[in-house]
Amino acid sequence: MPRLARSQLLALSATLMLLLAASPGLGKKEQNSPFRWLEWQQTTLRHAQNLRRPVLLFFTASWCVECKRVEEEVFYHPEVRERIENSFLPILVDRDRRPDLFARYSRGGLPSVAFTLPSGNSMFFRDGDEFLRAGGANLTVETLLPYLDLVERQFQRSADSMDAMVQNWLDQARLRRNVISRPLEPNMAAMAANVILRLEDKVNGGLRGAVREVRSEPVHAALEHYARTGEEEYRAFAERMLTALSRGAVRNPLDGSFYRMAGSPDWGSPSPEQLLHTQGDMLLAYLEGYRVLGDEHYLEVARDLVDVLMEDFFVPELGLFLASRVPEDPGQALWSWKSFRKALKRPQLDAAALQYGMDAGADASPRHLRDAMDAAAVAAALERPVEEIGALLDAARSQLRIAWGKRVSMRTDPVFHTGWNAEAADALLVAWAVLGREDAMEAALGVLDYIKSALTTDTDGVFHGMEISPPRILPSVLLWDQNQVARGCLTAYQATGEKRFRKCSVMRLDFVAGRFLDKEWGGLTDRRPAWGDVGEESIPDRRIEENAEAAMLMFELGALLPGDTLWKDGQKILEAFADEFASYGVRAIPMSLALHRNFQFPVQVAVVQRAGEEPDPVARELRRAALRGLPVWKVILPLRDGEDDELLRGFGILPGEGTAAYLLQGQSNRGPFRTVEELEAAMAPTEDE
């Protein structure tokens, strides 16, 4: 356990007591586990060494319905249980609690298994000149039993030689690794963005693939590229993807929440899990879609998502967001025509059946609802006034939500993920700016303050989170979490003008540059496992998406601070990937945003208020207007007249002018703008832009 200050321990203890009092069922452990799952740590591996047994890693997640089924039907099976108890050391790895282990050892998605030697190095099979790591995702009793026999025989025959070969490979990998830093070129941003068009599914929207993960990176990259260049192909991509996601079964139209992924290209057959990460990610995407494209439907989707976050994931007693929601019985989430008809009466039934894509027939198979038609389309189909149909659909939605609440029992995960909470806070701050949701802002600032006070230390950075039973911190220190906290604090600083949030963002990025910048491997790497380097954990996990996000943050914060240290750190990160980013495919999409920021200095919106005048409602509304403006490459610079006079003069702003906003572009500035209307008019793009 990491060393925490007394104030942090008190905050954590209070949090755990409140949660257990508010939701006594959350802390209960499963009592019917087939055997004692162990944890990945050095004492477990030493035990495997003493017993001379291979280690079985079972990758799961608390929200993963299929994982629970496999555990019950496969690992509870008497033959499988006996085989594992007698010949292996079983370790259960929750992907969200130990994402570092999942990244290094997983042989598939969820659920899946992998096998390691007691040293922590992977087991493998040799097939000619190829080496195949042991493990996979095809988990049935019939496939797992013979595979366990195969792994055990391989271990008994070749454990020592495998260890030596893997260690030699690790040593050679370090020797071969030469960082190739290539100068950055302006055309690289367009090259990274072009991946979107090359991989687009123009029929169903989004990127091609049989299984569709709900994620926002392609939308953000397309919208910013369109806002910057005016290239219609990117606008069309973003429009198709946002519309397809919101109209597909991957979104629950009754409350507006998104499922984790879709099982078919048309965004249908969704997985039953709803993750905090997905809701925050999609909220940012639809807010940005509305600001760039002006589609009111996207604004409605965003409003629903704010309600989902505040009503279904937020725990007011704690001021934090739970990690996930999933039906106790996934079949409960499906609607048959009988259950649909039972919840409604005509004329609501006729209108709602068209809106939600329900077939009026007893033989129709149960399905997820989808937002197939809007009110105007339903009105046209029924030849009724739009206002009348809109009222019918609103009433039908309320009735269906009541029926849903009676039918579906949701299970929540008693874990708080730091990065997911910070991501949700960032999205809610933007929602405050666009939608005026004061409750969203209050919740977001509280979350960030809690992370800073209870889950952060100066020496170890931001911890991955905490769980309730047993009560403990999740001690992994991961790049993604540092990035998300830095992002949330940066947005909070621009929204509130409070310098404590700027300090938080600076500290996170200084920590990233000091602890994760890897001169040997290049770029930023996750190489700090919670219990020290074990086996393959000594090889850094180097992800281009997280490197691009860190570089973006360094450019954005660097534009708010004097000096160029952060800017140069961001450039070093990108240069480490410049020679190879094209080979990353979809994963390289965030590079387009980071590269653009490197080559074009942002528009700076300075909002000046007199020092000591708190609160200043005019300055607050000016910051809000700047934050909700068109999401081009811009930063908001809160300044205090009387505290930041030197900076004001450097920008050509005379101290003593009172509360106002200024647009700073290069060596020139425009302003003062003393009202929201003046600032919005100044920020509006012109035809030339």
Residues 523-551 have pLDDT tens digits of: 888 754 443 445 555 556 678 899 999 99
Share of the chain above pLDDT 90, in %: 51
| Cα 461 to Cα 511: distance, rounded to the nearest angstrom | 7
Tell whether omega for the bond before 347 is within 30 degrees of 0, i.e. cis. Answer: yes
DSSP string, 607-652: EEEETT----HHHHHHHHHHHHS--SSEEEEEEEETTSHHHHHHTT
Residue 415 has pLDDT above 90, yes or no: no
Write down the domain spans for the chain.
Answer: 32-176, 330-408, 603-683
| Cα 493 to Cα 490: distance, rounded to the nearest angstrom | 5
pLDDT category, 26, cuts 50, 70, 90?
Answer: very low
Share of the chain above pLDDT 70, in %: 87
Confidence at residue 531, expressed as pLDDT on a 0 to 100 scale: 38
3-state secondary structure of 261: strand
| Cα 534 to Cα 522: distance, rounded to the nearest angstrom | 21
Output the six-digit token pair for 576: 């480490």
DSSP string, 558-600: HTTSSSSHHHHHHHHHHHHHTTTGGGGGGGGHHHHHHHHHHHS
Give the mean model confidence (pLDDT) for residues 494-520. 91
| Cα 315 to Cα 9: distance, rounded to the nearest angstrom | 20
Confidence at residue 24, expressed as pLDDT on a 0 to 100 scale: 42
How far separated are the first and last CA of the chain, in Å rounded?
A: 54
Output the six-digit token pair for 20: 């257990």
Give the distance between the most distant pair of CA atoms in the chain: 81
Within 10 Å of residue 258's Cβ, how many Cβ atoms? 26
Within 10 Å of residue 5's Cβ, how many Cβ atoms? 12
| Cα 541 to Cα 187: distance, rounded to the nearest angstrom | 28
| Cα 283 to Cα 258: distance, rounded to the nearest angstrom | 10
Helix axes 617-628 and 418-435, enclosed angle (nearest 10): 100
Residue 396 has pLDDT above 90, yes or no: yes
Confidence at residue 122, expressed as pLDDT on a 0 to 100 scale: 84
Confidence at residue 253, expressed as pLDDT on a 0 to 100 scale: 95
Helix H, strand E, coil C: the string for 13-46 is HHHHHHHHHHCCCCCCCCCCCCCCCECCCHHHHH
pLDDT category, 632, cuts 50, 70, 90?
Answer: confident
Confidence at residue 33, expressed as pLDDT on a 0 to 100 scale: 58
- Of the two residues 179 and 277, the one the predictor is more confident about is 277
The amino acid occupying position 405 is G
Confidence at residue 105, expressed as pLDDT on a 0 to 100 scale: 86
Residue 371 has pLDDT above 80, yes or no: yes
Output the six-digit token pair for 296: 């009111």
| Cα 481 to Cα 276: distance, rounded to the nearest angstrom | 14
From 118-122, 288-292, 354-358, the region with the lowest mean pLDDT = 118-122
Question: 254 and 404 in contact (C-beta within 8 Å)?
Answer: yes
The domains spanning 32-176 and 603-683 adopt the same CATH topology: yes
Residue 240 has pLDDT above 70, yes or no: yes
Confidence at residue 612, expressed as pLDDT on a 0 to 100 scale: 73
Question: 162 and 119 in contact (C-beta within 8 Å)?
Answer: no
CA distances from residue 562 to 255, 496, 651 in whole angstroms, order as listed = 45, 20, 12
pLDDT category, 27, cuts 50, 70, 90?
Answer: very low
pLDDT category, 103, cuts 50, 70, 90?
Answer: confident
pTM value is: 0.90
| Cα 291 to Cα 434: distance, rounded to the nearest angstrom | 9
| Residue whose C-alpha is closest to residue 290's, from 430, 130, 441, 464 | 430
Residue 32 has pLDDT above 90, yes or no: no
Give the mean model confidence (pLDDT) for residues 650-671. 83
Confidence at residue 634, expressed as pLDDT on a 0 to 100 scale: 85
Output the six-digit token pair for 195: 């991946």
From 115-124, 235-244, 397-406, 422-431, the region with the lowest mean pLDDT = 115-124
Which fold is adopted by the domain 603-683? Glutaredoxin (3.40.30)
Please, what sign has the CA dihedral across residues 182, 184, 189, 194?
negative
Confidence at residue 135, expressed as pLDDT on a 0 to 100 scale: 84
Confidence at residue 31, expressed as pLDDT on a 0 to 100 scale: 44
DSSP string, 406-421: HH--EEE--EEEHHHH
Give the mean model confidence (pLDDT) for residues 144-159. 90
Burial of 686 (0-12, 13-18, 19+ CB in 10 A): exposed
Tell whether omega for the bond before 672 is within 30 degrees of 0, i.e. cis. Answer: yes
| Arithmetic mean of pLDDT over the chain | 86
| Residue whose C-alpha is closest to residue 434's, from 256, 306, 583 | 306
Long-range contacts of 32-39 (CB under 8 A, 24+ apart): 32/76, 34/71, 34/75, 34/76, 34/81, 35/75, 35/81, 35/84, 35/85, 35/90, 36/90, 37/90, 37/91, 37/92, 38/89, 38/90, 38/91, 38/92, 39/91, 39/92
The H-or-E segment that residue 554 falls in is helix 544-558
From 162-171, 501-510, 549-558, 598-607, the region with the lowest mean pLDDT = 162-171
Residue 397 has pLDDT above 90, yes or no: yes
Burial of 469 (0-12, 13-18, 19+ CB in 10 A): middle
3-state secondary structure of 432: helix
Give the mean model confidence (pLDDT) for residues 172-185. 66
Residues 72-96 have pLDDT tens digits of: 999 989 999 999 999 999 999 988 8
Residue 498 has pLDDT above 90, yes or no: yes
3-state secondary structure of 383: coil
Residue 363 has pLDDT above 70, yes or no: no
Helix axes 386-407 and 375-382, enclosed angle (nearest 10): 110
| Cα 229 to Cα 170: distance, rounded to the nearest angstrom | 45
| Cα 41 to Cα 54: distance, rounded to the nearest angstrom | 14
pLDDT category, 162, cuts 50, 70, 90?
Answer: confident
pLDDT category, 29, cuts 50, 70, 90?
Answer: very low
- The length of the chain is 689
Question: 538 and 49 in contact (C-beta within 8 Å)?
Answer: no
pLDDT category, 175, cuts 50, 70, 90?
Answer: low
DSSP string, 285-330: HHHHHHHHH--HHHHHHHHHHHHHIIIIIEETTTTEE-SEEEESSG
- Name 200's bridge partners: 207
From 149-158, 335-344, 526-535, 676-685, the region with the lowest mean pLDDT = 526-535
Residues 198-239 have pLDDT tens digits of: 999 999 999 987 678 899 999 999 999 998 889 999 999 999
Backbone conformation region of residue 411, classed left if phi is above 0, alpha if psi is from -120 to 50, else beta = beta
Question: 684 and 673 in contact (C-beta within 8 Å)?
Answer: no
| Residue whose C-alpha is closest to residue 431's, from 285, 283, 276 | 283
Residues 320-338 have pLDDT tens digits of: 999 999 888 888 889 999 8
Output the six-digit token pair for 569: 């750190």
Per CATH, the architecture of 32-176 is what?
3-Layer(aba) Sandwich (3.40)
From 63-67, 112-116, 498-502, 528-532, the region with the lowest mean pLDDT = 528-532
| Residue whose C-alpha is closest to residue 530's, from 453, 468, 460 | 460
pLDDT category, 163, cuts 50, 70, 90?
Answer: confident
CA distances from residue 511 to 350, 466, 491 in whole angstroms, order as listed = 58, 21, 19
Residue 510 has pLDDT above 50, yes or no: yes
> What radius of gyration, in Å, describes the C-alpha atoms of the chain?
26
Give the mean model confidence (pLDDT) for residues 359-379. 83
